[in-house]
Amino acid sequence: MNSTENRLDPSVMDPAELDQLMILVSREERPALVGREGVRIDLPDPIFHVLVNIIRQMQQGRSVVLMPEDETFTTQAAATFLGMSRQHLVNLMDKGEVPHTRVGTHRRVTLKDLRTCQQVRDKDRRAALSRLFKKLKANDRYDTDYTGDAS
């Protein structure tokens, strides 16, 4: 991925420009692209919503990176993306839990597969927390009066 072509950094835009964009997208009229020759192309709603999200992220000072779902990652980049060690990711790949391809002796994994892995991991974590909560509640070990005060 060429990070300079796919990365939108809010520092390259004037904050007033971002504010103007938010005003523009909050109007009732249908958003559109207008070319130099005046040709107008109405934006489909999904594209419009992605652009609004990009503007919001940039207003918050966050950079946005755009990439296709079939973009491939090295094992180190994928592990960083998932917030785990490279070796743990390789072990998951070897067990068949994370789809990947080989390029010579190197493994590659797509963004789409990484996002699926994230979703499965998050679902499993929520289920485990739910089971723990039910077990604590069933054994009357869950404190519903806890206020969080350290006093």
Q: Last residue of a domain, which of 65, 97, 117?
A: 65
CATH number of the domain encompassing residue 126: 1.10.1660.10
Residue 112 is given by DSSP the state H
Residue 37 lies in a domain: yes
Residue 147 lies in a domain: no
Residue 150 lies in a domain: no
Range of the domain at 32: 3-65
Domain count, the chain: 2
Residues 61 and 85 in one domain: no
Give how far the C-alpha of residue 124 lies from the chain's centroid of Cα atoms, to the nearest Å.
Answer: 18
Instruction: Give me the chain's average pLDDT, please.
Output: 87
Cβ contact 18:55 at 8 Å: yes
pLDDT tier for residue 3 given thresholds of 50, 70 and 90: very low
Residues 27 and 76 in one domain: no
Residues 94 and 127 in one domain: yes
Residues 80 and 128 in one domain: yes
Interval 128-142 mean pLDDT: 89
Question: Measured between alpha carbons, how far is 26 from 36 in angstroms, rounded to an integer?
Answer: 24
Residue 38 lies in a domain: yes
Question: Measured between alpha carbons, how far is 112 from 71 in angstroms, rounded to an integer?
Answer: 8
pLDDT in tens, 57-98: 988 888 898 899 999 999 999 999 999 999 999 999 999 999
pTM, full prediction: 0.67
Residues 58 and 77 in one domain: no
Higher-confidence residue of 84 and 29: namely 84
What's the residue count for the chain? 151
